[in-house]
Structure 1
Amino acid sequence: MTSTTIDSPRTPAGSAKRRGVNWEKWGWIYMRVSGVVLLVLIFGHLFVNLMVGEGVKAIDFAFVGGKWSDPFWKVWDTLMLWLAMIHGGNGMRTIVNDYARSPRLRKVLVGAIAASVVVLILLGTLVVFTFDPCPVVPADQAHLLPSFCPAP
């Protein structure tokens, strides 16, 4: 009669320990930390936009222009954009890893998710930091500017 020993559930798979960075662990930690930070950022964003001042009826082009004239709100909104996009992309990557059976399909889908996240982060950051509510326009188009912009 032979006896079989079952390893503890917390024993690493395989006989040799893996070396290097455990990306799954850091992804898991990132999801928890970014989720908590996002709660603060999103509820702060909603409070300022919907409850302070005149509420939702005050949100228009001028409101955004005024808000983004302050570097604090540019950083706030950019941080919210980056954390949300990376958080969502990491969540989608986890879903793909769980359900895509083919390694090739998994690689294609994760690559598409990564590309989408990078493009959206770049475009969103570009919008936040290049937004100008009073662009330079020819004199014949001055009527297109918001009322708070000085006439050319």
Structure 2
Amino acid sequence: MTSLEIESPRSPYTRRKTTRSNYELYGWIFMRASGVLLLVLIFGHLFVNLMTGDGVHSIDFAFVGGKWANPFWQVWDLLMLWLAMLHGTNGVRTVINDYASKDGTRLVLKALLYFACVVVVVLGTLVIFTFNPCPPNAPAELLSQTVCFPS
């Protein structure tokens, strides 16, 4: 076959290399499990933020400050962040493996992907756990009255 001919669709598939691990199987299972858990986390997040209280009109700095003063919501948002980033990273990794034909290109793209994932997870985790709902010198009308000025 010359380089201008299209390979027959009935020709046997040849793998690039053989692997002896179940890494792709575990990645596939992770995508299904994390997808189901993300549905629960995201719809719970949307319900609490949009359907309770005044809905979207109540979301402001004080709302987030009051929410993240509770460790339950910190862990909820942390799980949502980690699972979303790992789920998305695994999906993009699969796309890179499928469409990047050169080993060097695949290596660079996946290195950038993993770097971006680590940066977002680390910074997001820091924001969730170091968030101060009552920053000094902040205007009182922006702060949560129940968290910063308990009666």
State the 1:41 CA deviation.
Answer: 0.1
Q: Give the letter for the 1:90 counterpart.
A: N
Aligned to 1:58: 58
Identity over aligned residues, as a percent? 61
1:122 aligns with 2:118: no
Which structure would you say has the larger RCO, counting Cα contacts within 8 Å and 6 or more residues apart? 2
Q: Show the counterpart of 1:34.
A: 34
Structure 1 residues 126 and 92: alpha-carbon distance in aligned structure 2, compared to 1, 3 A threshold: same
CA RMSD of aligned residues (A): 2.0
Structure 1 contact 134–146 (Cα < 8 Å) conserved: no
Paired residues in the alignment total 131
Q: Pairwise mapping of residues 80-91 of structure 1 onto structure 2 (< 5 A)?
A: 80-91=80-91
Q: What amino acid maps onto 2:85 in structure 1? A: M
Deviation per residue, 1:69-120 (Å, 9 max, x gap): 0000000000000000000000000000000010010011011101100000
Structure 1 alignment gaps of length 5 or more:
1-12
Matched AA of 1:31: M
| CA distance in structure 1 between the partners assigned to 2:142 and 2:91 by the alignment | 40
Letter in structure 2 aligned against 1:124? G
**Residue type at the aligned position of 2:57:** K
| Residue 6 of structure 1: aligned partner | none
Post-superposition shift, 1:32? Answer: 0.3
Find the aligned partners of 2:130 and 2:51 in 1 and give their Cα distance: 27
2:142 to 122, 143, 146: 146
The Cα of 1:18 is off from its aligned counterpart by 5.3
Using the TM superposition, give the Cα deviation of residue 135 of structure 1 relative to its aligned residue in structure 2, in angstroms. Answer: 2.1
Q: What letter matches 1:120 in structure 2?
A: V
Contact 1:34 / 1:83 at 8 angstroms: preserved in 2? yes
Give me the TM-score of the superposition, normalised by structure 2. 0.80
